[in-house]
């Protein structure tokens, strides 16, 4: 029997090693992504997707709530909203605007983990718009979107006008 013509084919094991090396590299990349939250926020235990913790409850997360009635027809209401947002309070809901008083109720939500407050900050824009001028509202929202604001909600006020709430997320 001539052994020189019969060689051992180890291609299958080389392919298996390449496959395992690829999986190890992918795991290293996933670990980098897991650490991305700490890198981006400077805080451990909080996710990098800043709005999600306010919508999805995750293990070991706690929330604190606050309810405020603000006169949204007063221009100073937006500065109050932004003061709360700077402290990490997220607007989880806005009621309809009282036609007589111009006030609306806001539900604020603060994401906590142990004694730490989530480092996410929020900026708000709250303004009235004419219901019949949907194109003007669309242009205003698109313009604000270029600055990082997203439409959060609209709130009925009277027969001709409603209010719009926009939110910007930052660290």
Structure tokens at 26: 């992918």
- Each residue's pLDDT, cut to its tens digit, for the chain (171 residues) gives 455 556 677 888 888 888 888 888 777 766 665 565 555 566 666 666 667 777 777 777 788 999 999 999 999 999 999 999 999 999 999 999 999 999 999 999 998 877 788 888 999 999 999 999 989 999 999 999 999 999 999 999 999 999 999 999 987
Contacts of 28 (CB under 8 A, 6+ apart): none
CB 118 within 8 A of CB 55: no
Backbone angles phi and psi of 104, in degrees to 5: -135, 150
Closest alpha carbon to 128 in 99, 81, 82, 161 = 161
Contacts of 160 (CB under 8 A, 6+ apart): 130, 131, 132
Closest alpha carbon to 163 in 67, 68, 77 = 77
Structure tokens at 168: 């910007």
Other beta carbons less than 10 A from residue 60's beta carbon? 8
């Amino acid at each position: 029997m001539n052994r020189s013509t019969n060689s051992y084919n180890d291609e299958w094991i080389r392919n298996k090693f390449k496959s395992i090396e690829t999986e190890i590299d992918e795991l290293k990349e996933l670990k980098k992504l897991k650490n991305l939250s700490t890198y981006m926020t400077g805080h451990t235990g909080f996710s990098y997707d800043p709005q999600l913790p306010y919508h999805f409850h995750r293990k070991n997360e706690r929330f604190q709530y606050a309810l405020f009635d603000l006169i949204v027809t007063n221009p100073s209401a937006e500065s109050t909203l932004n003061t709360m947002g700077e402290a990490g309070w997220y607007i989880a809901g806005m009621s309809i605007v009282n036609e007589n008083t111009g006030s609306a109720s806001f539900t604020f939500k603060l994401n906590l983990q142990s004694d730490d407050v989530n480092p996410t900050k929020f900026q708000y824009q709250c303004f009235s718009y004419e219901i019949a001028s949907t194109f003007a509202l669309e242009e205003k929202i698109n313009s604000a979107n270029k600055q990082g604001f997203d439409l959060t909600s609209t709130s009925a006020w009277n027969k001709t006008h409603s209010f719009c709430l926009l939110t910007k997320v930052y660290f």
